[in-house]
Amino acid sequence: MMPKIIQIVGIPGSGKSYILSKLTGMPFAMLSLKCYDTDDYITKAYLKYPKGNVQAIAKKMFLRDIQGSRKPIVLAGILFDIPGSTRIFIKMSQSELQRAYKQVTRREIDKWKAVAHKVSYDPDELRYKYHLNAWSPTASLINYKMDYKNALEFEKGIGAIMLSQAEIIEKIKNNKI
């Protein structure tokens, strides 16, 4: 039987990993839920099966890991969809979008600097091992806002719940989802 799964989705820089860090840092979290990040599974799958369908393998690894769990699961990430999960999209204000755009652009530049001398420039290695596909540091704020708008419309269309970071944390903390 599958446990209750809450999947937190959003554009790069919207705070998916931040939300997980807040949840795992709360004393109640160790007793009441388990938190996972799709990026961790993508990296594991790539390292184990570099020539395979990394996203499909990562999803299978995740589903195997949670099988039989009695605790609710919080999964942050957009890299695979879990049927039957409660999907929550991170809603952002205009000022949050501007802040996140700056943050994610800096983060991507820093990631490139950190690995540029190590990699073979194999697209799969860049994408799956180093996660250098999340956002192009050359993209504009207008592109970032457009990506957000498109993601928001898509998630609304499939019935995702729209909440801010603080609302997500509060509702999960109080078992309101």
pLDDT band at 132 (very low <50, low <70, confident <90, very high): low
Burial 30-43 (b: 16+ CB within 10 A, else e): eeebbbbbbbebbb
pTM listed for this prediction: 0.88
Strand partners, 118: none
Nearest CA to 152 among 94, 106, 104? Answer: 94
Whole-angstrom distance, CA of residue 177 vs CA of residue 171: 6
Domains of the chain, first to last: 5-173 (3.40.50.300)
Report pLDDT digits (tens) over 43-101.
999 889 988 899 999 999 999 999 999 999 999 998 888 989 999 999 999 999 999 99
